[in-house]
Each structure stands twice: as structure tokens, then as C-alpha cells.
Structure 1
Amino acid sequence: MAHSPAPSHAPDQLDSAWKCALDQLIGECILTCFPALAAVLDLSRPFTILDSELHQPSDGTIPTSNACHADRVYQCFTRDGHAVCLHVEVQCQHDEHFAQRMFIYHSLLYARHKIPVISLAILGDGSATWRPCDFEYGFGGCELTLSFATVKLLDLKPALPALLQSGNGFALFAAAHLEIMQTKGEPFERLAAKCRLTRILCDFRWPETRLAKMLELLDRIMPLQPKLDAKYREHIRNMKGTHMLTLIQRLHHDHVRRILERTTAYSFRTGREEGREEGRAEGRVEAQRLMLIDLAQKRFGMLPAGAAARLHSARPEELQRWLERFWQANSIDELLD
């Protein structure tokens, strides 16, 4: 993936956001952007992520190393049960070699998997005219052409209101991508856009687990400066609606994660100073224990003596298990059960 729709994004940050979005929303992506393909593929069957690292001989004609990485590669199935390899590439800026790269990826994937390869390109740049869709060459009576399906995110703009109203998760992510292009260099406008999209997301009435994953995608694709991020989270706390508990829980989770990272880092420093590996491990366990006790008291109120005793004497694996399911529990007894 080549990109830079906004300078606030490090290359790997945008790349990671899109890969996570494709993994979570690949079915909606195909339905939204490639409806003809949706009529051919069996979207009810899971998509298996395949290794996207490919190897090729380097001849110096294009800027690439022997190992190249496609954005996402999946194995999926047609409606009549045939396995196919699906390659999705996201391109966020003009690249004169893009079509050639698509051809190289296509060839290497076919050589590896020996099944039909479907190549798709998602163009997330700001140019209305740059639309690569094929690569061809010929010499000595031999000709070869690769045509691949493309979607320009700019083209989705008119349809986004209706798509968002229908609860389309990929449309929300595409809208976020377009917003980071439109709010380039305008941090307050980006904050406002992120708040709008969060409100739309809450109106989707999704299950809490899916909602939380989509919120994480929004954070990945629309990072904010620390002070504005604090305003965003304050905005969430002030929102009213069915899913606000999930949002607030997520804010607590973020806070807990930051506390744990700081406490763990401190325990590592302390252990290193003492020269004892066991000191570092004990520090991490105690950080988890204190954090869990604090969270439990805030959520469930004063803890019964038995529950408090269990928390104080819990083994490391118990603490980890309770932390992982903390937000799913409705009472302290259910948590410790």
C-alpha cells in the first residue's frame, strides 16, 4: 500500500487500519464496491487470510525488493463451491507502477496457489482521473493483459448517506477515510467528523462486540492529537443512547491499558535495577491485581469479603482470565465464577 492522505498518519498506521478493516468487513466491502463479484462469491463462507509475502526475481525495472507484500490475500469460494484466491490492494496516492505491481502480485499468487486469482484495487487517493485498471505487454507475437476491478472511494461519496443509514460498516470506514482526506491539516474539523461518525455508528444498533471493533477501526483511521482525543472521549461520555455503556466501557478499557503499560514499564525498571527476573514478573502480576480490584470496586461497589480475599490471593492466570472477561460480567460473582 502506498499512501499519505493526511500527514498525521504514519505509513504503517494507515496500512494497519485498512488491513484490519478488510479483515473485519471484507464481505461488506465486496457488496458495496464490487457487486458483480458479490453475485459470484459465496459470502456466507469464511474468508481465510493467506500469506501476503511474495517473492520475485528483481531486475531493477521497478522499485521493489525480492520480497514484496500484497495488502491482503484471502482464500474464498464461489457459489458453486470452487476455491479462488482474492487479492485486495489499497492505493492512496498516484503510483505509475501500480498496475504493474498488480500484475506481478497476480502472477506470483497464481504460481503459488494454482487456483484462479481475483485482483481488486481500492483507490483512496484524491485524484478523480487516475484510475488504473489493467496492465498489458506484448512482444514477438505474444501478448498478455491483466484487467482488474477497481473502486474509487471518491465515487462512493454520493451513495454514502444511504449506505450509512442501512448500517453498512464498510461505508462507515470509507467515510472515515474520505474525512481524513478532507480534514487534512484541520484537526478541529477532524474531531468534529469523528464525533459525527461515532454518533452514526451508535445508531447502527450493532452487538456490543462488533461495535467495539468498529470503534477501534475509527481510532486507527482517524487518530487525533492528545488534547483533541481527550475532547473526543469526553464527547462520548456525554452522549446518550443504547450503546453508550459499551462506549464508556471501552474508555475505561483504554484507561486501564494505559495504566497497565505504565505500571508494567515501572516494574521492568525496578526489576532491572534489582537484577531480578522474578521481581519484574511479580511487579506485573501486582499491577494486574491492583488494577482489577480498583475496577471491580468502581463497577460493582464495595466488594464482599470473600470476593476481596479471592482477588488478593488469585494466581496470575486467574487475574488474566478475569481481566479479559471483566466487561462481560454483570456482577462480581459472575466475574469470579
Structure 2
Amino acid sequence: MTANANPSNAEYDSPWKEALERYLPAFLALCFPSLHHLIDWSQPYLSLDTELREAVRDADLGTRFADKLFQVFLNDGSVTQLLIHLEVQGQYEANFSERMFVYHYRIFDRCRSPLVSLAVLGDDRPSWRPNSYSYGQGGAQMKLEFLMAKLLDFEERWQELESSDNLFAPIIMAHLKSKSTTQDAQARAQWKWTIVRGLYQRGYQRGDILELFRVIDWMMVLPEALQQEFNRQVKQETEETQMPLLSHLELEAKAEGRKEGRREEKQAVALNLLRMGLSPEQVAQGTGLSLEKIQELQSQLESES
């Protein structure tokens, strides 16, 4: 019998936001290459989350996976800086183009800087491809044209994603397979393992492998039994191949680090690590809990067995 993944457990918003903030150059190179070529990547880009929240705080016109605002610098000398407003939309929405327009003019009104709007469509409707919004009367017209990337289009480019060294390619792969396996947790688990194993083969740096693993693990939610099997596969692969980049302690600590270390959650992570056979010293180091607390949890486990 095939286990079912619960679609409501899928996490997209936070993984997308973190991935965009960390890997904006790779994302634009893959999804919006013409814009990527215009940017001077020798200068740092800035994430303007506070400015975005203040600009659109009372203009919530729909549900999206993620929205981000970045400041970048162009390389042709014509404009010193450029703002990029980026919306990741997870499902069809009738007023999506209107929302893009509203957010665009509100950001421009607040920041008074050149601005481009980008839409990433992560829905499952092949024909839905909004890229503009306009209105007018009597010869007068207002129009916004925004750039659009449809993630479904990457299904036809799957081999390209598999062989690409672009750091955002595994994230798009994880998104597509997470969406397509909402009713088949076993298939999702298989794809999750395939995508994670592929991280070893792309020549990524140690920090990038850990970060991409964390985003993929966050996005591709599995039922507990399948997640435990996935954890076992990761641990076994690490031990057999002696991969220096993926110790299981690091993976667990990274995956749980996003929860801001609430005490109860840290203890749950610590218990799982102890069950996997890690020493109290390793668990204390990975979770930030005191060695005394870890020893207390270990005694609790021993009394339960």
C-alpha cells in the first residue's frame, strides 16, 4: 500500500525565500538569464524585506509562496542601482496580475528607484501565463509588463537540470517533484533521495551542499516513517562513501536550525540524534543544549527501553 503525503504539510514559502536570498545570482541565471547578464555581480546585492513589508503591508491581494525585494547594481553604467521585486506564486489566482501591479507601484512610490517585477509560477496549469496588467479609457492607458518564468516548463528540461552545476537547479527539481507527489509519499521519498544524492555529483562546495540539503529536506515533507528511512539512507551513504561534507549530525542540526531553537524542539531533535547512536557530546554540540540536559534525555530513553 502506498503511503500518502499530506499536501498541507508541504513547505514552500520559507525554503523559497531563503534559497532566493542566498542564491539570487544562480536563480536569475537559470530563470531570467537576460536580466542576470545586466547585473554587476561583483557588487553585493541586498535583500530589502523591511522595505517590502512597509510598502505592501495593507495590500495583501492573494496567497503566494514567497515575495522578495532585492537591490542590485547594473554593469552598463546607465543606472546605478535597480530594484527587483519577485513573486513566487503557487497556484492559479484570478487577480494575480493586478496584485503584481499594485505591489509594483507601491514599491516604486516608497523607494523611488528603477524597478522590475518578476513572477515565478509554480502552479499546475500549463496555459496560465500572466505577464502584464493594464487599464485605461479615452486614449489614456496604464500598463505594467513583468517577466514570468513557469516552473512547469522545466519538466521538459529535466535532463538539463540534472546535469547543471547551477545551484538553483536542485531547488527547482525539488519543487516540481514535491508538487507532483502530493498524493504519493513513497514516490516523493524516492525523488527526494535521488535529488539529494545528486548534490554529491555536481561539484558544489561543502557549505552549499549543506544549505541545499536543508532547503530540499524542508520542502519535500515526508511522513515520519519515510523520513526515518531517508535519514538512514543519508547516514549509510555518508559512512560508505566517506563523504566529508555530509555528516548526519550536521544535516540534522542544519535542518532543525530554522526553528530558532525553541527548547521543546531542540529536545526533540536531541532525542532523535541519541536514538541514531550519536554520543551525548555530539548531540550537545549539534543542538546547543547543555551536556547535562543531553545526559538527562539519554537517561529518559534508557528508562523507556
TM-score (norm 1): 0.70
TM-superposed CA distance for 1:161, in Å, is 1.8
Of 72-81 and 243-252, deviating more is 243-252
Q: 1:255 to 1:143 in 2, by over 3 A?
A: closer
Query: Does residue 1:114 correspond to 2:112, yes or no?
Result: yes
Q: Secondary structure at the match of 2:38?
A: coil
TM-superposed CA distance for 1:64, in Å, is 3.8
Q: 1:122 to 1:292 in 2, by over 3 A?
A: same
Amino acid at match of 1:93: Q
- Runs of at least 5 residues in structure 2 that lack an aligned partner in the other structure: 269-277, 292-305
Query: Does residue 1:73 correspond to 2:69, yes or no?
Result: yes
Aligned to 1:23: 21
Q: Secondary structure at the match of 2:39?
A: coil
The whole-number CA distance in structure 2 between the counterparts of 1:255 and 1:37 is 32
The whole-number CA distance in structure 1 between the counterparts of 2:247 and 2:203 is 13
Kept after mapping to 2: 8 A contact 1:160/1:171:
no
Amino acid at match of 1:44: S
Amino acid at match of 2:282: L
Aligned to 1:280: none
The whole-number CA distance in structure 1 between the counterparts of 2:255 and 2:144 is 49
Aligned to 1:161: 159
The whole-number CA distance in structure 1 between the counterparts of 2:255 and 2:142 is 55
Kept after mapping to 2: 8 A contact 1:153/1:174:
yes
Kept after mapping to 2: 8 A contact 1:134/1:145:
yes
Aligned to 1:194: 192
Q: 1:247 to 1:64 in 2, by over 3 A?
A: same
- Show the 5 A alignment for 1:292-311: 294-295=281-282
Q: Secondary structure at the match of 1:118?
A: strand
TM-superposed CA distance for 1:170, in Å, is 1.0
Amino acid at match of 1:168: N
TM-superposed CA distance for 1:262, in Å, is 4.2
TM-superposed CA distance for 1:243, in Å, is 3.2
Deviations 1:108-166 (A, max 9, x none): 11111111101000000011100000000002432111100101011122223223313
Give the number of the structure whose alpha-carbon radius of gyration is greater.
1
Deviations 1:269-322 (A, max 9, x none): xxxxxxxxxxxxxxxxxxxxxx996229999xxxxxxxxxxxxxxxxxxx9699
The whole-number CA distance in structure 1 between the counterparts of 2:24 and 2:223 is 29
TM-superposed CA distance for 1:224, in Å, is 1.0
Higher RCO structure, 1 or 2 (CA under 8 Å, sep 6+): 2
Kept after mapping to 1: 8 A contact 2:65/2:89:
no
TM-score (norm 2): 0.77
Aligned residues: 269
Kept after mapping to 1: 8 A contact 2:6/2:183:
yes
- Show the 5 A alignment for 1:167-178: 167-178=165-176
Q: 1:116 to 1:256 in 2, by over 3 A?
A: closer
